[in-house]
Amino acid sequence: MSRPQTAAASRPFAPDPGQPLARQLYQLLLERICRFELEPGQLISEASLSVTLGVSRTPVREAMARLAEQGLVEVLPQRGSRVLPLRRSDLEKSQFMREALETAMLRKVMAIPERHLLLMQLDREITLQRTYLQVGNLARFYQSDEDFHRHIALFAACGPVIEEIARVKVHMDRFRQLTVSSVEDLAMVITQHQAIRDSIAGSDAMAAEACLQLHLRRIFSFLEQAAALFPHYFAEIRP
């Protein structure tokens, strides 16, 4: 299999004059890397990219430097940048940090006596996920999955932490785009979301944490299947 059918095609680039250009380019390239439109091992030319997108090379270079800091590309002198392969060690670090942050937020949620508004939001996302799964809309399913976790963060008054979670889970997002499109059982995602929701409704903090941790760790069970389908994407798969 040459390339996965990921959850969504990336958006065309339309610069927002109100936002720093380098930040917008970083987000665009991040999406393309996570969706495997820029594949592991692929060379990226700053000059070609600046011409294609109609921007100067300076913001492109700044965006590449940020991607390199996150371990998504390596800068090759006189050659451009190369998209780095998938590594289990990157996933383990990313997943560990995400789980730590989301578990802490869930504990804050469980300390709030009245949670009916959150439960309504979670119910809505679960209903949407069932619909998106039925009609085969992976892009909407993936977004609803993200929104499910975002509602918990916002209810815990941890809105500012959402950006930090997005930063630390970037490698997890990359693996998830691959598994969602190829090997993951999306019905089980819904089942696990329902279990998290029901534990919150039942005021069972220990069960809620256990359900969340099971949910966030399940990605490891799909690594070997994904690597078998896309071996050219991986540099490291076993612990």
Instruction: Kindly indicate whether the domain formed by 87-236 is annotated with CATH number 3.30.565.10.
Output: no
Token pair of 163 as six digits: 């950006």
* Of 141, 125, 127, the residue nearest 176 (C-alpha): 141
* Of 200, 124, 112, 192, the residue nearest 158 (C-alpha): 112
Give the Cα separation of 220 and 173 in Å (integer). 13
* Domain pair 21-84 / 87-236, same fold: no
* Second-level CATH architecture of 21-84: Orthogonal Bundle (1.10)
Output the CA angle 197-200-204, nearest 5 degrees: 130
pLDDT score of 27: 93
Output the CA angle 137-177-46, nearest 5 degrees: 115
pLDDT score of 137: 93
Residue pLDDT tens, the chain, 239 long: 556 655 555 567 778 888 999 999 999 999 999 999 999 999 999 999 999 999 999 999 999 999 999 999 999 988 889 999 999 999 999 999 999 999 999 999 999 999 999 999 999 999 999 999 999 999 899 999 999 999 999 999 998 899 899 999 999 999 998 888 788 899 999 999 999 999 999 999 999 999 999 999 999 999 999 999 999 999 967 66
pLDDT score of 183: 82
DSSP string for residues in 71-90: TSEEEETTTEEEEPPEEHHH
Asked whether the CA dihedral 46, 51, 53, 58 is positive or negative, the reply is positive
Dihedrals phi, psi of 80, to nearest 5 degrees: 115, -140
Tell me the residue ranges of DSSP E strands in the chain. 43-44, 73-76, 80-83, 86-87, 234-236
pLDDT score of 57: 92
Give the Cα separation of 185 and 101 in Å (integer). 25
pLDDT score of 205: 97
What is the reported pTM? 0.88
Q: Where are the domains of the chain?
A: 21-84, 87-236
